[in-house]
Structure 1
Amino acid sequence: MKYAHIVRAIFLERPNRFIAIVDIQGQRETVHVKNTGRCKELLIPGTEVILEKSDNPARKTAYDLVCVYKGNRLINMDSAAPNQAAAEWIREGGLFPEKVSVTTEKTFGNSRFDIYAESEKRKAFIEVKGVTLEENGVVRFPDAPTIRGVKHVEELIRCLEEGYEAYLLLVIQMEQVLRFEPNWKTHQAFGRALVKAQQAGVKILARECIVTPDEMKINSKVPVFLEESSE
């Protein structure tokens, strides 16, 4: 999952969830933010960010904000990147031992799942969640309440009941983290949905990514802890 034209900038402010104001070598520029989440712990004035320049001259904004530095850690915050990286990873044999055909945005019941993988041996639905919230090496999801996320997890249980394999793939959009856990403080219902899904047989997987300014690629396993926090 690569970006073509990368530019470094300094984040100044975020007037709304769709745009940000940045400084590119002394020039103020309005850019599109490819993540509508809060990201308040990431987008701090003075922070270095990575932009991708668009090839479309008709666009209102010439750049997309795709990565941000948190100290020395580079975090990809492009909400489209996890699905793209996951599809590439599965096609390359990252999840299943045999070759599978991969379909994106596959409908099942009242939900549309990110990935459907099929071979002679299996039929599997995979929902992908990108994770950017990190504290002391612990990553959590979600960073805001997500009723839609709860619905997707519950629908994965239905997939199992209909005879499919079901996976929730948490794509950690950074490297060198300690573990994943639900963000119990922000959305308890999502954490409980994960626990219920795991007990039903849904496979909850977390993978960290190799992140560079122009690329994000799924890499190694991250331990998943679903025990409810008392914080």
Structure 2
Amino acid sequence: MQYDNSYRATFLSRPNRFIANVLLDGKPEVVHVKNTGRCRELLLPGANVYLEKSGNPDRKTCYDLIAVEKGARLINMDAQAPNRVFAEWVGAGGFQEGLTLLRPETTWGNSRFDFYWEASNRRGFVEVKGVTLEEDGAVYFPDAPTARGVKHVEELCACLEQGYEAALFLVVQMEGVAFWAPNDRTHPAFGTAVRRAAERGVQILAWDCKVTPDSITLRRPVSVRLHGVQENLC
């Protein structure tokens, strides 16, 4: 996934979930934040951030905030990127061999899953989640309570009962992490739902990404730890 017109800026503040104040070429600028999550550990005053210039002249903000430096680590925080990089990866031959169909935004039961796929006599659903919360080289999801996320995981279990395959796919929006785990401290119900889903046969997959100021690409699998990680943060 490639961005056009990438610019480096300095983060100043975030008045609400949707906008941020930055310093771009020495001048203050209000930009759109492409992630409504908390991101408290990322968007700190003085942090280097990366912006993409919008091509829409009618927008109130001219730039989108897409990535941030956290120490030596560059983290993509565009909430729309995970689905796009997953679809690109699948299109290049990843995920399932012999894929004949990949359909985004498919409704089943009481949920709309990110992707529905078919391959020969197999079929299944995938729910994709972006991961930006990192501490000491490990990554966690969610960074805020997500009742919707719990519902999606429970619906993935229901798919199995109807003969579908099901997967929760965590796109880690950075590279070189030790493992992914559910953030039980922030939302224990999500961790419980994920562990139950894994026991019932839902695939829990995590991949990290190669991230640059103007691109993000799926890179390689990340270890998943569902038990014994209770010291997570936030």
Cα separation, 1, equivalents of 2:103 and 2:139: 28
Q: Which runs of 4+ in 1 moved over 2 A?
A: 228-231
Q: In structure 2, do the counterparts of structure 1 residues 76 and 165 end up closer, same or farther at CA, with 3 Å as the change threshold? A: same
Does the CA contact (< 8 Å) of 1:91 and 1:99 recur in 2?
no
Is 1:208 paired with 2:208? yes
Does the CA contact (< 8 Å) of 2:9 and 2:50 recur in 1?
yes
Letter in 2 for 1:97: E
1:93 offset after TM fit, Å? 1.4
Q: Which residue of 2 aligns with 1:141?
A: 141
| TM value normalised by structure 1 | 0.98
| TM value normalised by structure 2 | 0.97
Cα separation, 2, equivalents of 1:107 and 1:227: 31
CA displacement, residues 148-202 of structure 1 (integer Å, 9 cap, x when unaligned): 0000000000111111110000000000000001101100000000000000000
Cα separation, 1, equivalents of 2:165 and 2:189: 23
Q: Which residue of 2 aligns with 1:71?
A: 71
- Superposition map of 1:113-192 within 5 A: 113-192=113-192
Q: Which residue of 2 aligns with 1:109?
A: 109
Cα separation, 1, equivalents of 2:15 and 2:222: 34
Unaligned runs of 5+ in 2: none
CA displacement, residues 100-143 of structure 1 (integer Å, 9 cap, x when unaligned): 32111010011000011112232110000000000011000000
Aligned-partner SS, 2:102:
strand
**Percent pairwise identity:** 58
1:228 offset after TM fit, Å? 4.4
Q: Which residue of 1 aligns with 2:44?
A: 44
Q: Which residue of 1 aligns with 2:57?
A: 57
Aligned-partner SS, 1:194:
helix
Aligned-partner SS, 2:15:
strand
Does the CA contact (< 8 Å) of 1:74 and 1:174 recur in 2?
yes
Does the CA contact (< 8 Å) of 1:191 and 1:228 recur in 2?
no
Does the CA contact (< 8 Å) of 2:99 and 2:120 recur in 1?
no
Letter in 1 for 2:167: Y
Letter in 1 for 2:10: I
